[in-house]
Amino acid sequence: MTTPARPVDGALAREFGLSAEEWDRVLGIIGRTPSLTELGIFSVMWSEHCSYKSSRVWLKTLPTEAPWVIHGPGENAGVVDIGEGLAAIFKMESHNHPSFIEPYQGAATGVGGILRDVFTMGARPVANLNALRFGSSDNPNTRRIVDGVVRGVGGYGNCVGVPTVGGEINFHPSYDGNPLVNAMTVGVARQDRIFLSAAAGIGNPVVYVGSKTGRDGIHGATMASAEFGEDADAKRPTVQVGDPFVEKLLIEACLELMATDAIVAIQDMGAAGLTSSSVEMAGKGGVGIELDLDSVPQRERGMTAYEMMLSESQERMLIVIRPDRTEQARAIFDKWELDFAVVGHLTDTGHIVVRHQGRTEADIPLAPLADQAPLYRRPVAPTPAPAPLGPLTDPVGIEGALIRLIGCADLASRAWVWNQYDSTVGGQTVRRPGGADAAVVQVDGTRLGLALTTDCTPRYVAADARTGGAQAVAEAWRNLTAVGARPLAVTDNLNFANPEKPEVMGQFADAITGMGEACRALDFPVVSGNVSLYNETRKPDGTTVGILPTPAIGGLGVLEDASRAVGLALRPDLDLVLLGRTDGALGQSLWLREVHGREDGPPPPLDLAAERRTGDFVRARIGEGTVVACHDVSDGGVLVAVAEMAMAGDVGCRLDVPPSGLAPYAFWFGEDQGRYLLAVTDGAALIEAARRANIEARLLGRSGGDGLTLPSGATISVPRLKTANEAFFPALMDR
């Protein structure tokens, strides 16, 4: 696969993913026929994955600023002020295409890549999360992919010693050929020790550290910028291989070096490896860079310049260093038994020049490489408005529907997955997976708690992308609020199908519009993110299947005192109060899907003003210490939320009758937004306070006993709920 022995021409450029117009632009910039290495550099830098050429015009519309934002999009990760002179640094990134081809390595290197994006800025990683989407549980391939992805996420995260504290999983046939693996890392740094990537200082040495360069992952970024056909297996060589042990050493060595004043700029070698790191560092700094590939630590013999520039070998970093600190830095990497090599220096030419074995293999002006990168405002077609649901029936009753829902693929217990992820390493995990709406991790040496969540409801986005995009942001905000945290900012991971299709681009544009509206209404800016397009598979008959639009949101919030965080486990002898308005919205609900086999109707509407009012009220109650447990109402509606609280606490609840005017199934299973369940000692006082704040509130029941007692008098025991809830994953995976 490696170096094509062919003339460089428009046809080869096409194979490298460049359009005819883009090829012409390359010729214009270079002024001659480019070398193979130069073509490789252009093709990866201008790939969708690296250039965001289809998405940039829309991404620019998202709000990215707030008083607490230190660095928004544009750096390796977003940086926010969490108080006490500290910053949280975080980002989420996709590794979808590799994870279909090779689930274990795809997922593992996804975790490794996002960790590097965070510690390259000077942060010690303190938590990992993920957002995973798999095909239908009936598809025989799904089991293999789930197994590989879960082992890969765990295999990498467990070894590097960063706790995996949260995440979400959905199953849907639209992901059969395109599973989504979105990995998020959160780190903590001192605000005065944050490292950026803009190179500076003509003549300063450029240092390569970490693993040796091999032939793995060549053209991974290009692969990630095209749809899959039947030849997906042939793309296996484009998948990288991860080594979490080396990553662990790299974290420690980099943090040790970062405690000195040796570093001028630093960036990890992620997608497009040595190419993107050198081009971006020099480009941001407005300087030139010259690389001598003979000095690059190599794992294999006889590698060409093309291969080295495009390799995506993992666990590597590029550092611009103060010349007088080079030996001090070398000693640190020697101690950690990692390669350390001066591979070049900064120049005043404004060009990237690549030399290998006495020859100049590339000489490209950096400014036009960046400034003339393609930018497309692709045609958009609106998503047709979903038809209303029409009259519904209640074929299985409340009890039957509850048991079916809590056992379904999207609501079943995820313990089988979480139990393969080390969630406690570090000794700071206050709320583990499943214990609260958001994970909570204490910041070592302080009382601060970071609340973390990942959220998206793709079926809502498919039905109405603007509402669905807003809902993903609102749900993340709600989950942070439900543990008592102040939501600060989000990272987004926008997974969509082929952007050259106007209906897909329409979904993208509408989802961004909705996200932006929610971010503004909730003061919850976007500080980092990633776009993954072409999540689409061509079938043998020539038709294509695209994924449900999945703009996954990673949310981060802060608690001034981590011990104030509340979980969702119900306790006995408490009033259970429902906050927020209930209209019985069943369009796109899980009840509709699981009971009626229908995936239609409009998603539940959002009222962002009410969302904010209700959330601010809930956070204040948690802050004053009057809330014993809190859970937001989301997939499956109120009764599922009550059941989840009951299962978490091994405590039952006697439930009140729904209000007249709503069918019982609509009340219990409607997915109206902006709602929370609070368990408190004095429900009447809470309801009174809520009403004064113009928030709808009603007493839902009183906790106690060992079962959920419905208004009909029927009781469903908590053990029966748990049996139904815990069956799905073992049945799918351990059969």
Partner 1 sequence: MKAGIVVFPGTNRERDMAIALRRAAGTEPAMLWHRDTELPALDLVVLPGGFSHGDYLRSGAMAAHAPIMSAVRDFAARGGYVLGVCNGFQILTEAEMLPGALLRNAGMRFLSQDCHLRVERDDTPFTRGWREGDVFRAPMAHGDGNYVASEEELDRLEGEGQVAFRYSRADGGLADDANPNGSARAIAGVFSADRRVCGLMPHPEDLVDPLMGGEDGKPLFDGLVESFR
Nearer to partner 1, 244 or 468 (CB): 244
Of residues 679, 675, 695, 696, the one with CA closest to residue 630: 679
> Binding of partner 1 at residue 210 (CB under 8 A)?
no
CB of 219 to partner 1, least distance (A): 28
> Binding of partner 1 at residue 248 (CB under 8 A)?
yes
Of residues 671, 727, 139, the one with CA closest to residue 457: 671
Residue from 42, 90, 336, 340 in contact with partner 1 (CB under 8 A): 336
Please identify which residue in the block is written with the tokens 């999945």. Answer: 550
> Binding of partner 1 at residue 664 (CB under 8 A)?
no
Neighbours of 9 (CB within 10 A): 11
> Binding of partner 1 at residue 428 (CB under 8 A)?
yes
H or E element in which residue 186 lies: strand 180-190
49 is catalytic: yes
Residues 700 and 642: beta-carbon distance below 8 Å: yes
Sort 538 into a burial class: Cβ within 10 Å, 0-12 / 13-18 / 19+: middle
CB of 241 to partner 1, least distance (A): 13
Of residues 347, 187, 190, the one with CA closest to residue 268: 187
CB of 308 to partner 1, least distance (A): 25
Binding site for Mg(2+): which residues? Answer: 93, 117, 268, 530
Stretch that binds partner 1, among 241-249, 264-272, 366-374, 576-584 (CB under 8 A): 241-249
CB of 335 to partner 1, least distance (A): 8
Binding site for substrate: which residues? Answer: 94-97, 116, 240, 312-314, 532
Tell me the C-alpha distance between 489 and 78, whole Å. Answer: 9
H or E element in which residue 465 lies: helix 465-482
Kindly give the pairing relationship between strand 180-190 and strand 78-83: unpaired
- What distance lies between CA 564 and its chain's CA centroid? 27
CB of 131 to partner 1, least distance (A): 19
> Binding of partner 1 at residue 419 (CB under 8 A)?
yes
> Binding of partner 1 at residue 534 (CB under 8 A)?
no
CB of 683 to partner 1, least distance (A): 27
Stretch that binds partner 1, among 112-120, 288-296, 423-431, 687-695 (CB under 8 A): 423-431
Nearer to partner 1, 303 or 441 (CB): 441
Please identify which residue in the block is written with the tokens 């991860």. Answer: 242
CA 483, 487, 488, 492 dihedral sign is positive
> Binding of partner 1 at residue 333 (CB under 8 A)?
no
> Binding of partner 1 at residue 185 (CB under 8 A)?
no
Sort 439 into a burial class: Cβ within 10 Å, 0-12 / 13-18 / 19+: buried
Stretch that binds partner 1, among 182-190, 339-347, 418-426, 495-503 (CB under 8 A): 418-426
> Binding of partner 1 at residue 96 (CB under 8 A)?
no
> Binding of partner 1 at residue 187 (CB under 8 A)?
no
CB of 568 to partner 1, least distance (A): 15
Residue from 421, 477, 524, 534 in contact with partner 1 (CB under 8 A): 421
Tell me the C-alpha distance between 195 and 317, whole Å. Answer: 13
Angstrom distances, CA of residue 497 to CA of 54, 112, 174, 226: 12, 25, 10, 10
Nearer to partner 1, 151 or 193 (CB): 151
How many residues does the structure list for the chain?
A: 735
User: What residues have CB less than 8 Å from 263, skipping those under 6 apart?
Assistant: 195, 257, 319, 320, 321, 322
Angstrom distances, CA of residue 281 to CA of 206, 259, 323, 370, 677: 10, 21, 17, 12, 48
Nearer to partner 1, 154 or 270 (CB): 154
How is residue 192 annotated by DSSP?
T
> Binding of partner 1 at residue 735 (CB under 8 A)?
no
Please identify which residue in the block is written with the tokens 């560092």. Answer: 281
Which string of x and - marks every residue 397-416 that binds partner 1 (by CB under 8 A)?
Answer: ------------------x-
CB of 88 to partner 1, least distance (A): 18
> Binding of partner 1 at residue 425 (CB under 8 A)?
yes
> Binding of partner 1 at residue 484 (CB under 8 A)?
no
> Binding of partner 1 at residue 115 (CB under 8 A)?
no
Nearer to partner 1, 72 or 157 (CB): 157
Nearer to partner 1, 424 or 723 (CB): 424
Residue from 196, 430, 559, 592 in contact with partner 1 (CB under 8 A): 430
Residues 46 and 276: beta-carbon distance below 8 Å: no
H or E element in which residue 478 lies: helix 465-482
For the sheet containing 653-655, what is the strand order?
627-632, 676-680, 575-579, 697-703, 653-655, 707-709, 715-717
> Binding of partner 1 at residue 424 (CB under 8 A)?
yes
For the sheet containing 205-210, what is the strand order?
263-268, 316-321, 205-210, 339-347, 288-292, 351-356, 359-365
Q: At 404, give phi and psi (nearest 5°).
A: -65, -45
Nearer to partner 1, 156 or 669 (CB): 156
CB of 151 to partner 1, least distance (A): 8
Residue from 337, 393, 540, 624 in contact with partner 1 (CB under 8 A): 337
Residue from 43, 55, 120, 158 in contact with partner 1 (CB under 8 A): 158
Of residues 111, 335, 305, 354, the one with CA closest to residue 209: 335
CB of 327 to partner 1, least distance (A): 20
Binding site: which residues? Answer: 52, 91, 93-97, 116-117, 240, 268, 312-314, 492, 529-530, 532
Nearer to partner 1, 24 or 444 (CB): 444
Nearer to partner 1, 119 or 418 (CB): 418
Nearer to partner 1, 357 or 419 (CB): 419
> Binding of partner 1 at residue 245 (CB under 8 A)?
yes
How is residue 540 annotated by DSSP?
T
Binding site for ATP: which residues? Answer: 52, 91, 492, 529
Which string of x and - marks every residue 437-476 that binds partner 1 (by CB under 8 A)?
Answer: -----x-x--------------------------------
Tell me the C-alpha distance between 243 and 156, whole Å. Answer: 8
3-state secondary structure 112-170: HHHHHHHHCCCCEEEEEEEEEEECCCCCHHHHHHHHHHHHHHHHHHHHHCCCEEEEEEE
Nearer to partner 1, 114 or 463 (CB): 114
Which residues 133-152 are close enough to bind partner 1 by CB under 8 A? 151
CA angle 690, 692, 694 (to 5 degrees): 70
Tell me the C-alpha distance between 443 and 243, whole Å. Answer: 27
- Among residues 95, 172, 219, 631, which one is catalytic? 95
596 is catalytic: no
CB of 157 to partner 1, least distance (A): 10
Catalytically active residues are: 49, 95
Binding site residues, partner 1, CB under 8 A: 151, 154-155, 158-161, 243-246, 248-249, 336-337, 415, 418-430, 432, 442, 444, 562-563
